[in-house]
A = this chain, B = another copy of it.
Amino acid sequence: MAISYRNMQAFVCVAESATFAEAAEKLHLTQPALSSAIKKMEEQLGGKLFSRSTRRVSLTPEGETLFPTAKRLLNDWDEAFQDMQNLFAMNQGKLTIAAMPSFAESCLPGILKRFHGMHPNIRLRVLDVVMEATITSVLSGEAEIGFTFEPELKDGLIYHPLFVDDFIAVVYPEHSLAQEAEVSLQAVLSYPFVAMNRGSAVRRWTEEAAEGRGALNIVTETGQLGSVGQFIAQGMGVSVVPELCRAQMKSKGLVCLPLKEKPLSKSVGLIQHTRGSLSVAADAFWKHCAATFS
């Protein structure tokens, strides 16, 4: 029993025309159809909207008050409609991506550049936070997609592996291991060690891998892998970091060495939350990543 969009459109069109016939043509309707549409609308509202003299049609005072409102309503309606179409067509919209720093500094820029080339009207936002915060922001919905190592607890998460990261040893150029082609984890651990803070996944995994291969001789702890590199460059020690950091470490003049027998292999991939679904933009991004690393 509610008034329809089409009737409101008819009203505005007649109000902007001199005659019913003229308005009917604009609306691709016949005169009688338009006439009855207006008639129905008037019945619903409880009074006349137009004052009809056979020569010319004009708005009643009530129609006059409805007119600007009607135009605004139609405008808002169409605008909302088009916004949604654009959103689905990825002609507009925004996408928030969380990524752990090692990924954000290495792979992400290239991926984002290609994605932006494909969908230039999608505004991209990156949350460059530690692995735990990456997971948290995806769970909370702040980010739709996250890049992390495979989480231990996948409650409420979907994890999609992209590739495997084999951790590498990092030493300063003057170090005695620097000339080796590859080194054993045990050998690395025998030197003073620059570690991540307790609580970080890299630290925990390093300690797990070190079990039975000798105790860590930690000289410094820090919160970011970038800082780890800085301490190594100062000659304070050596470390074991994700391969993702290779370029970052090399740029600091450090030497990266593969570990014998790959004792630290961790899957790197995408996460999304299970409840709800991805936006079309996020879905496209997801597929883009999956294709890139396939």
Question: Which residues of chain A have a CB within 8 Å of any CB of chain B?
Answer: 2-6, 9, 44-48, 51, 58-62, 65-66, 69-70, 72-73, 76-78, 80-81, 83-85, 87-89, 144, 275-280, 282
Q: How far is the CB of A281 from chain B (nearest CB, A)?
A: 8
Q: Which of B4, B62, B87, B277 contacts A4 (CB 8 A)?
A: B4
Residues of B within 8 A of A144 (CB): 61
What are 27 contact pairs spanning A and B, CB under 8 A?
A: A2-B78, A2-B81, A3-B77, A4-B4, A4-B5, A5-B5, A45-B81, A45-B84, A45-B88, A46-B88, A46-B89, A47-B84, A47-B87, A47-B88, A51-B277, A61-B276, A61-B279, A62-B87, A62-B88, A62-B280, A65-B84, A65-B87, A66-B84, A69-B83, A70-B80, A73-B73, A73-B76
Residues of B within 8 A of A51 (CB): 276-277
Check A9 against B2 for contact (C-beta < 8 Å).
yes
Residues of B within 8 A of A80 (CB): 66, 69-70, 73
- Chain A's interface: helix, strand, loop or mixed, by majority? helix
A81 to B45, CA, bound (A): 7
Q: 10 closest Cβ contacts across the A-B interface?
A: A47-B88, A61-B279, A51-B277, A46-B88, A45-B84, A69-B80, A60-B277, A62-B87, A58-B276, A2-B5
Residues of B within 8 A of A4 (CB): 4-6
A51 to B80, CA, bound (A): 20
